Amino acid sequence: MIKIYTSPSCSSCRKVKQWFKEQKIPYVEKNIFAATLNENELKEILMKSENGTEDIISSRSKIVKESGVDLESMTIKELIEFIRANPSALRRPIMVDDNKIQVGYNPEDIRVFIPRARRIAEWACQQCPKYTDCDYTQDEEA
């Protein structure tokens, strides 16, 4: 199941949720301000991020600037406690499934969450000479 970590005032979060609804891809929304993120969720996010804190923490966030923390020198435990105490430091939205993570709304990059079979069908349809007149979701009449 895809988890989307959001905040209520985030326009990118609204775009992501709308995109998932349009694609009919189920997800679970987790408002980062409504409930404290648990340690396992944060470990999962950190493990899947390619560039560690750079991918998920906004260095421009007020809390990061004002606290003067050195994120790179923190232990994993310290980092998790910092995020739990300061969820506004997280970039948003963060989408996580069993294998991957995507941070922010990018219309091209988010397509990795479309099920593989559907992506293959779309690609095959695009190869068809009738592609502009084709709707791959419906069967052609014989």
10 an active-site residue? yes
- Identify the pLDDT of residue 142: 36
Q: Give the HSE-up count for residue 13: Cα atoms under 13 Å, Cβ half-sphere.
A: 18
Please give the chain's pLDDT, 142 residues, in tens. 899 999 999 999 999 999 999 999 999 999 999 988 999 999 999 999 998 889 999 988 898 889 888 888 999 999 999 999 999 999 999 999 999 999 999 989 998 998 876 766 777 777 776 655 555 544 444 3
pTM for the full predicted model: 0.80
Ordered by start, the domain boundaries in the chain are 2-114
What Cα–Cα distance (Å) separates residue 138 from each residue in 19, 26, 123, 125, 127? 21, 21, 15, 12, 17
What's the CA gap between 137 and 139, in Å, rounded? 7
Q: Judge if the upstream peptide bond of residue 129 is cis by omega within 30 degrees of 0.
A: no
Residue 116 is predicted with a pLDDT of 73
- CATH code of the region 2-114: 3.40.30.10
